[in-house]
Structure 1
């Protein structure tokens, strides 16, 4: 099976992030998930995915058994939750690190420690390094060679997307031989049988009002997250 696309990785990262930072808004509707994917803070790169792209990604992730539908009795709109921690047997620290790498690309241990604080609080860099080593030993992330002038190592995720395709170590671990990545090779974590086709969400006119309200809530939640990020950055600068 070809590894997850950039869209799938962004969707998966957003589901993990929102589960851990705004549990009252989780699971997510399609619209809330689109807003989370496209928000301008805590994302690298900033994207503008439409609902069709999100639906397709949800279908593929469902077939991988990395997400499932979770519609509740109080909402007519389909909702979605991730299953990555269960499928890959990940700890809270491990899945938090993976989520930040999926959402923001290559990062140093110092950046990861700061950016995972809202999802999981590592006591120190040693604890984070232990988690990074455990993920690297499973070929879920890799440490990159230092570039000229860099003082810290950088890490990137290998679950899927462009980063994983560019990684020679990912290609070697997936195919079992040296050389460029094999696009038909099994991606890390795909050591499960194919799932039944995942239902793509279907919308009817009766959901319009509910979707409108949820869109407003999602926008407010996104704005609040941006404000929290600004406050956290200000505290970091002031040393508070």
Structure 2
């Protein structure tokens, strides 16, 4: 397995910022491109993020500038504030389904194909796990270099996890780390993922309502509280 030398090597913060931009483009399109405040909130979400981060505005701005220099992010002016969008699909030259899987890996860390299918549901409805695996295999076997890697199966695990390679080779501690423990009452990863999806859907609805409110306030010339 080789990693494409032409690909950008992203820091954890850059991967989080890029992942949020791709995710929000598909889950809250009315609010995309994102303002800095919306992007910061998405980066610091407590759900559907592994690891959970507490980034500052300055850290997100630095990551945006770095991504912009590598053509992965565009900056546009919308109303009174700057907005940010991604160019990941064009730079990486992969289909949208592959980009969605890559995004989930950037935002949630290593996942099995089954977990990826559930976590991707709001961005794309994969027909079955086999279709997820087909896109993963394609990214792992790219002639120019792999974008993802299949990790060794952990003791007692039924499925192998996948990890992205946009941050460079997978660290040894990631290879050895077990998935996060399930909370009380969750019987398996699928149930936990479904719970996370419901929370994400509610967060998306709140974000959409906030975006609509901001738009109305802007048209009326008043500042949203």
TM-score by length of 1: 0.67
Whether 1:226 and 2:205 are equivalent positions in the alignment is no
Aligned counterpart, 2:92: 88
Aligned counterpart, 1:45: 51
Report Cα offsets for 1:74-102 as digits up to 9, x if no partner.
x1111000000011112111011001000
Report Cα offsets for 1:94-123 as digits up to 9, x if no partner.
011001000000000110000001101111
Query: Partners of 2:75 and 2:31 in 1: how far apart?
Result: 15
The gaps in structure 1 that reach 5 residues or longer are 168-223, 231-240
Whether 1:130 and 2:134 are equivalent positions in the alignment is yes
Q: Aligned-pair distance for 1:227?
A: 5.8
Whether 1:66 and 2:72 are equivalent positions in the alignment is yes
Alignment of 1:200-215 (within 5 A): none
Alignment of 1:9-28 (within 5 A): 9-28=15-34
How many residue pairs get matched? 170
Query: After TM superposition, what 4+ stretches of structure 1 lie above 2 angstroms from structure 2?
Result: 224-230
Q: Aligned-pair distance for 1:165?
A: 5.2
Aligned counterpart, 1:141: 148
Partner of 2:153, secondary structure, is coil
TM-score by length of 2: 0.71
Q: Aligned-pair distance for 1:226?
A: 2.9
Query: Partners of 1:229 and 1:98 in 2: how far apart?
Result: 23
Aligned counterpart, 2:101: 97
Alpha carbons of structure 1 residues 135 and 48: separation in structure 2 relative to 1, 3 Å: same
Partner of 1:41, secondary structure, is coil
The gaps in structure 2 that reach 5 residues or longer are 1-5, 173-196, 204-225
Kept after mapping to 1: 8 A contact 2:22/2:103? yes
Query: Partners of 2:69 and 2:18 in 1: how far apart?
Result: 13
Choose which of 78, 90, 107 in structure 1 pairs with 2:82: 78
